[in-house]
Amino acid sequence: MSVCIEFQDVSYAYPLTKKAAVRHLNCKLEKGKCYGVIGPNASGKTTFCNLMRGLCPKFYGGILKGNVLVEGKNLEEWEDGELSVRIGYVFQDPFAQVSGIKETVFEEIGMGLENTGVEQEEMIRRILEIAKVVKVDTLLQKNPLALSGGQCQRVAFASVLALDSDIIVIDEPTSQLDPDGTMDVFEIIGALKRQGKTVIIAEHKVDLLAEYCDEIIAMAEGTIIAQGTVREVFQLQILREKKVRIPQVVTLALLLEEKKKALSSIPVSEREAVAMLKERGDI
Amino acid sequence: MKTKNQTVMKLAQTALLAALCFVSFTFLQIKIPMPGGDATSLHIGNAFCVLGALLLGGWYGGLAGAIGMTIADLMDPIYITGAPKTFFLKLCIGLIVGLVAHHIAKINDSTDKKYVFKWSLIASIAGLSFNVIADPIVGYFYKQYILGQPQKMAEVLAKWSAATTFVNAVVSVILVVFIYNAVRPILLRSGLLVSQPKN
Amino acid sequence: MAIEVKEISFSYPGNPVTAVENVSMKIEKGERVAIIGQNGAGKSTTVKLINNIYKPTQGKIFVDGIDTSTKTTAQIAPHVGYVFQNPNDQIFNDDVIKEIQYVLRYWKLSEEEIGQRTEEAIEVTGIRPYLETHPFDIPLPIRKFLTIAVVLAVSPDYVILDEPTAGQDLWGCEQLKIVMDYLKKKGKAVITISHDMEYVAEHFERVIVMAHKNVIADGSKEDIFYQPDILKEAHVTPPLCARIGQKMGIKKKILNIQELVENL
Amino acid sequence: MTEEQFVDSFRKYQKKGNWWCDFHPVAKMVTCLSLGFMCLIVFRWQVGLIIFLLAGGIAFLTPVWKKYFKMIGIMFLLGCVFTVIVRLYVHMGDPGPVAFYLFGKSVPVAAIISCLDLIFMIEGFLGIFLVFFMTTEMRDLCCCLEQLGMSSTVTFMVLSTFSSITSIKEKLNRVRESQRARGIETEGNLFVKVKSILPVLFPVIISSMTGIEDKTLAMDARAFAADGVHTSLRKIQPAKRSEKTVAVVAVIVSILGCVAGKLFL
Ligand SMILES: Nc1ncnc2c1ncn2[C@@H]1O[C@H](COP(=O)(O)OP(=O)(O)OP(=O)(O)O)[C@@H](O)[C@H]1O
Ligand SMILES: Nc1ncnc2c1ncn2[C@@H]1O[C@H](COP(=O)(O)OP(=O)(O)OP(=O)(O)O)[C@@H](O)[C@H]1O
Ligand SMILES: [Mg+2]
Ligand SMILES: [Mg+2]
């Protein structure tokens, strides 16, 4: 598979801060895979996403060392407009993401399409399609400023999805959502993956990440402490040392191991865990 | 991207300050009735005009004040006639503050709190004293020649408006210096001061 | 001594659709209650009514026997503390200590008392490393702890936390546990809104489920988390341990991982 | 409106089903502004009254007439009663032909006329201005101006100012709520209110300023920086010949009116 984003020894400090927010990042992200970025607060997840999108240092200022390559091309060589179409980015704070200049959710979702010069019929078709997927189709006529936190988050998600970017970066998309809403978001991410898109998602809800992601990138104190498949990463001792959250099913498996009731391997989803437990069949 | 994004950001900030001017003028004012069916009021709208100039530079700050206050004037039956005058005056305030703060003192290049405090104070005083002097004078001529009010009354109005403008200016200077110096460190950190020290 | 909510209804000004309808609940002093439910169910609205930020259009609320409709919000604040969903709406001082002490000074408490309360609040919320930082420079999840500290310093009998778990990492959850333990020790009632069922199952005895502007269930966590139809109606899923326990056909009502391990 | 109707409405030209509301925004703006400024410049009650009546007439033919007359009524009372009382008071006892006596003092005709001048200048301007604003959507106006060559950054700025006004008002309320919840009294006498200004104003300013960053990024995520043609979801009918004619006539009338008014009134 081809590499679509590559970090080569990247360090970055925000302006007027002494400590670098991230240090010596090295990683390769492949096309068509889903990556989960995990780590405690202030470990640099958002900064990692910003770097990928070129917002650090172009927008925030600050000092960047090393290279970030998107599809083999250094970030600086990318045109601004082109990059914003190529990489869709859903930001962390849902409340701040409404543009505020559109009066209905329908137009809010369509705004990106207007800016990229899509024809009207096509625009309407795409908005309706996305709205259905993200389950905001009942809100289309509402004012974006009068939405509840959860609804806001969905609309922000929808307006970025509408652009149909190849790479989608999502920073904590479920912080305000109820459990069902959270499941919906992950379902959508699953669907994006099936469409062959590259998805990078930073989240605290590791249980669902474990279920939906191909690979996990674990960060702590501004460095990548582990990268690999879900099963590999969540077994690592270092995650627990650095206080990175791990999925409950993994905790369960490890506890069972301690009690000498080990499962055949480490499960990463509820389904797997139940299957393994059933297979053992000793209640 | 830098240039383009920075413009969008500056525009968004300008819009925000214009809105703040509008809101503070419209909702936080005390009207004082005056002879001639005119009124002047105690308000802090100018503070945001000055704040805009300190944060965004003269042009944008002046523009923010001009737009915000002009809209506010247009929405108010008592002030509506003064709208063109307001636009011109607020723009000037912004330019003067910008000139003092950014061209003379270059406060955005400094990290010295005391220096910034001192110069933001001087700049706001400069801008608002201009207002204290110019508002009644421009108002006088504006009323007399453009609106054709009787001379005697225009004089009375000018005197009154000079008094309230002075009170407003004092309150605004205190407020703006306080707000600016409180807001600055936060904005500086999050890269919101558009022309920040090069590093 | 209790908060009694009696059949209240409320609609936001300028919005004819009611936000909550006929909600009743009673929360005793020292109790720990979690409110869960779908987005937009009216959870935040209900606690805002209890806090007297809004007055119900129908029904009455009594805090320790006082009818809230006869008081202002600021008069209820010493009894009921509310930590908002968004900390940015609350902070305005340029110094953490000043922020915590603002209301205490506003109430003209003695210097000694202020110092002691501040100290305790800082200790419990773990914000000591940030005392020198400008409040708006503190990372958002920790800024939330600052607003918690502000409420702890006020020391009301009822503490309401609106989604304290959103965006928190392990450290945050552990610190939150310390806060909860502290409040328990002090005999304060805690009312928490949360979407994190694991957290609810771990820290609360009683759970109130809200859906469609109303309370649809109220009971012990064992009861609630084992009633699939109610949970479904409220768009929540039970904690993972409960799900696995059920799927494995364990009879006992399991709610935490230790129990699950023991029963497997 | 059902969802299909709503979506369908974007396929056609944006219409309200009222000739004035659907008047091409730019033509409408030119018409109203020129008439308004004529009113301002001539500063005579005759002209003001005509414009005022014209505005009222137009408003009467639109669906917003109720709201319009309520607003203009309030403004009329507020601005005018005030003007009359104070102006008459100032001019009472002035020399000149006397209209009537009030409290034993003469009220000259000139005073009444100057009153009327001021009142109708204000009300004429305000009336035509309100009629324009109440029947025109800012976004449509901006969209049309954009088509005429105004840069999209300017439209963004204008729309953003208006939207910021509403969002700041909302934020003010929210912050006031949270400050009350922590025990700071914000209601009561003037002193209490003044004391609560800072705790309310400060979080509002800071959080809206820091919110700008997110807003800019949100705009960026919606490809605002993308080069090339921008399309628009809402379609506005190009100005008809009749609408253009009206605008041109209004401009000519205003210019002539100004000259004539200054010379003969
Ligand atoms: N705009 C900024 N200016 C200066 N420093 C910043 C900025 N944003 C983040 N930082 C700092 O960079 C470091 C990494 O922060 P980042 O936001 O990337 O963490 P995170 O893992 O996304 O945390 P969270 O889980 O809270 O979202 C932190 O120490 C933070 O204080
Ligand atoms: N300020 C407001 N003005 C008008 N309606 C509002 C306002 N705040 C909330 N609502 C509406 O009231 C209803 C209840 O909202 P509330 O905030 O209580 O929900 P919630 O249960 O806290 O949801 P969440 O889990 O998303 O925080 C929602 O339908 C919402 O749209
Ligand atoms: Mg983050
Ligand atoms: Mg809520």
Tens-digit pLDDT profile for residues C6-41: 999 998 887 778 889 999 999 988 889 999 988 888
Taking CA atoms only, the protein residue closest to ligand 1 atom 4 is A14
Give the H/E segment covering residue B69: helix B58-74
Cis peptide upstream of residue A57 (ω within 30 degrees of 0):
yes
Task: Give me the pLDDT at residue B35, please.
Answer: 56
Nearest chain A residue to C40, by CA: A148
Q: Any idea which of A5-14, A129-138, B22-31, B124-133 has the lowest mean pLDDT?
A: B22-31
Q: Are B150 and B171 in contact (CB under 8 A)?
A: no
What tokens appear for A146 in the block? 């009068």
Q: In this complex, do D170 and A82 lie within 8 Å of one another by their Cβ atoms?
A: no
Check if A44 has its Cβ closer than 6 Å to any atom of ligand 1: yes
Q: Are C10 and C19 in contact (CB under 8 A)?
A: yes
The owner of tokens 């780590």 is A39
Rounded to an integer, the average pLDDT of C107-118 is 89
- Chain A, 184 to 223: residues with Cβ < 8 Å from chain C are 204, 207
Atom of ligand 2 nearest to the CA of A176: 26
What tokens appear for C33 in the block? 């209650």
Tell whether the torsion through CA atoms of B55, B59, B62 and B68 is positive or negative: negative
Task: Please check the confidence at residue D103 and state whether its pLDDT lies above 80.
Answer: no
Which residue among D174, D180, D203 sits closest to C91, beta carbon to beta carbon?
D203
Nearest chain A residue to D212, by CA: A96
Taking CA atoms only, the protein residue closest to ligand 1 atom 13 is A21
Using a CB–CB cut-off of 8 Å, the residues of B that contact C are 182, 185-186, 189
Chains that touch A (3 or more CB pairs under 8 A): B, C, D
The owner of tokens 């923010």 is B64
Residues with CB under 5 A from ligand 4 (ion): C 44
The rounded distance, in Å, linking the Cα atoms of B196 and B180 is: 15
What tokens appear for C173 in the block? 């959850």
Question: For residue A29, how far is its CA from the centre of ligand 3 (angstroms)?
Answer: 19
Task: Give me the pLDDT at residue C234, please.
Answer: 87
Task: Please check the confidence at residue B6 and state whether its pLDDT lies above 70.
Answer: no
Task: Give me the pLDDT at residue A198, please.
Answer: 92
Question: For residue A46, how far is its CA from the centre of ligand 1 (angstroms)?
Answer: 6
Q: Are A58 and A217 in contact (CB under 8 A)?
A: no
CB-CB neighbours of A193 under 10 Å: 18
Fold classified for A3-246: Rossmann fold (3.40.50)
Task: Please check the confidence at residue D224 and state whether its pLDDT lies above 60.
Answer: yes
Q: Any idea which of B98-107, B186-195, D231-240 has the lowest mean pLDDT?
A: B186-195
Task: Please check the confidence at residue D44 and state whether its pLDDT lies above 60.
Answer: yes
- Domain-by-domain residue ranges, chain A? 3-246
Which residue from C68, C73, C82 is spatially nearest to C6, judged by alpha carbons?
Answer: C68
Band of residue B2 on the pLDDT scale cut at 50, 70, 90: very low
The rounded distance, in Å, linking the Cα atoms of D27 and D242 is: 10
Tens-digit pLDDT profile for residues D133-153: 888 888 788 888 877 877 777
Taking CA atoms only, the protein residue closest to ligand 1 atom 16 is A44
pLDDT above 90 coverage of chain A, percent = 14
Check: complex ipTM more than 0.85: no
Q: Are C206 and C27 in contact (CB under 8 A)?
A: no
Tens-digit pLDDT profile for residues C228-242: 888 888 888 888 888
Question: Angle of helix B151-189 relative to helix B113-141, nearest 10 degrees?
Answer: 160
Check if B190 has its Cβ closer than 6 Å to any atom of ligand 1: yes
Nearest chain C residue to A282, by CA: C264
Task: Give me the pLDDT at residue C182, please.
Answer: 92
* Identity of the amino acid at A218: A
Taking CA atoms only, the protein residue closest to ligand 1 atom 7 is A14
The rounded distance, in Å, linking the Cα atoms of D56 and D127 is: 7
Tens-digit pLDDT profile for residues B38-92: 566 777 788 888 988 888 888 888 888 888 888 888 777 667 777 778 888 889 9
Q: Which of B11, B79, B160 to mutate to test the interface with D (most CBs of D within 10 A)?
A: B11
Q: Any idea which of A186-190, A206-210, B105-109 has the lowest mean pLDDT?
A: B105-109
Residue C60 touches chain A, beta carbons under 8 Å = no
Q: Which domain holds residue B158?
A: 2-190
Ligand that lies nearest to the alpha carbon of residue C38, given by its number in the listed order: 2
Q: Any idea which of C20-29, D84-93, D176-185 has the lowest mean pLDDT?
A: D84-93
Rounded to an integer, the average pLDDT of C78-104 is 85
Q: In this complex, do A107 and D233 lie within 8 Å of one another by their Cβ atoms?
A: yes
Q: In this complex, do D221 and A160 lie within 8 Å of one another by their Cβ atoms?
A: yes
Q: How would you classify the pairing of strands C66-67 and C58-63?
A: antiparallel
- Domain-by-domain residue ranges, chain D? 10-136+236-264, 143-222
Check if A60 has its Cβ closer than 6 Å to any atom of ligand 1: yes
The rounded distance, in Å, linking the Cα atoms of C198 and C165 is: 11
What are the DSSP calls for chain D, one per residue? Answer: --HHHHHHTTTSB---S-TTTTS-HHHHHHHHHHHHHHHHHH--HHHHHHHHHHHHHHHHTSTTHHHHHHHHHHHIIIIIIHHHHHHHHHHTT-SS-EEEEETTEEEEHHHHHHHHHHHHHHHHHHHHHHHHHHHS-HHHHHHHHHHTT--HHHHHHHHHHHHHHHHHHHHHHHHHHHHHHTT---SSSHHHHHHTHHHHHHHHHHHHHHHHHHHHHHHHHTTTT--S----SSB-PPPPHHHHHHHHHHHHHHHHHHHHHHHH-
What tokens appear for D199 in the block? 């705790």
Q: What's the gap in Å between the CA of A129 and the closest CA on chain B?
A: 30
The rounded distance, in Å, linking the Cα atoms of D64 and D62 is: 5
Q: In this complex, do B5 and A58 lie within 8 Å of one another by their Cβ atoms?
A: yes
The owner of tokens 């210019």 is D255
Q: Are B18 and B64 in contact (CB under 8 A)?
A: yes
Check if A78 has its Cβ closer than 6 Å to any atom of ligand 1: no
Q: What's the gap in Å between the CA of C231 and the closest CA on chain D?
A: 30
Task: Please check the confidence at residue A248 and state whether its pLDDT lies above 50.
Answer: yes
Q: In this complex, do A256 and C39 lie within 8 Å of one another by their Cβ atoms?
A: no
The owner of tokens 């410049």 is D41
Task: Give me the pLDDT at residue C148, please.
Answer: 93
Tens-digit pLDDT profile for residues A55-86: 887 777 788 888 898 888 888 888 777 888 88
* Identity of the amino acid at C50: I
The rounded distance, in Å, linking the Cα atoms of C20 and A67 is: 53
Specify if B155 maps to a domain: yes
Using a CB-CB distance cutoff of 8 angstroms, which residues of chain A are in contact with residue B4?
Answer: 80
Which residue among A81, A121, A163 sits closest to D225, beta carbon to beta carbon?
A81
Task: Give me the pLDDT at residue B1, please.
Answer: 41
Alpha helix ranges (H) inside chain C: 43-50, 73-76, 96-106, 111-125, 140-154, 170-185, 197-203, 221-225, 228-233, 240-247, 257-263
SS3 content of chain A, % helix, strand, coil (to 5): 45, 20, 35
Q: Are B116 and B181 in contact (CB under 8 A)?
A: yes
Q: Which of C72, C73, C91, C93 to mutate to test the interface with D (most CBs of D within 10 A)?
A: C73
Taking CA atoms only, the protein residue closest to ligand 1 atom 10 is A21
- Interface size A-D, in CB pairs within 8 Å, comes to 119
Atom of ligand 2 nearest to the CA of A150: 26
Q: In this complex, do B4 and D79 lie within 8 Å of one another by their Cβ atoms?
A: no
Band of residue B191 on the pLDDT scale cut at 50, 70, 90: low
Specify if B158 maps to a domain: yes
Question: For residue A43, how far is its CA from the centre of ligand 1 (angstroms)?
Answer: 7
Task: Give me the pLDDT at residue B199, please.
Answer: 33
Taking CA atoms only, the protein residue closest to ligand 1 atom 17 is A46
Task: Please check the confidence at residue A35 and state whether its pLDDT lies above 90.
Answer: yes
Check if A17 has its Cβ closer than 6 Å to any atom of ligand 1: yes
Q: In this complex, do D185 and C81 lie within 8 Å of one another by their Cβ atoms?
A: no
Task: Give me the pLDDT at residue B196, please.
Answer: 41
Task: Please check the confidence at residue D91 and state whether its pLDDT lies above 70.
Answer: no
Selected residue with higher pLDDT from C46 and A283:
C46
Number of domains in chain B: 1
Could you give the C-alpha distances from D157 to A178, B12, D82, in angstroms and in order? Answer: 36, 6, 36
Give the H/E segment covering residue A227: strand A223-229
Specify if B47 maps to a domain: yes
- Interface size B-D, in CB pairs within 8 Å, comes to 135
The rounded distance, in Å, linking the Cα atoms of C259 and C48 is: 36
Q: In this complex, do C77 and D181 lie within 8 Å of one another by their Cβ atoms?
A: yes
Q: Any idea which of B76-90, C78-92, D57-71, D88-102 has the lowest mean pLDDT?
A: D88-102
Ligand that lies nearest to the alpha carbon of residue B191, given by its number in the listed order: 1
Q: Which of A16, A82, A92 to mutate to test the interface with B (most CBs of B within 10 A)?
A: A16
Band of residue A48 on the pLDDT scale cut at 50, 70, 90: very high
Q: Any idea which of A139-153, C59-73, C248-262, D187-201 has the lowest mean pLDDT?
A: D187-201
Q: In this complex, do A59 and B188 lie within 8 Å of one another by their Cβ atoms?
A: no
Selected residue with higher pLDDT from C95 and D188:
C95
The owner of tokens 């409180």 is B182
Q: In this complex, do D231 and A114 lie within 8 Å of one another by their Cβ atoms?
A: yes
What CATH number is associated with residue B52? 1.10.1760.20
CATH superfamily of C2-79+156-262: P-loop containing nucleotide triphosphate hydrolases (3.40.50.300)
Could you give the C-alpha distances from A253 to A207, A246, A265, C256, D124, in angstroms and in order? Answer: 13, 11, 8, 14, 79
Q: In this complex, do B189 and C94 lie within 8 Å of one another by their Cβ atoms?
A: no
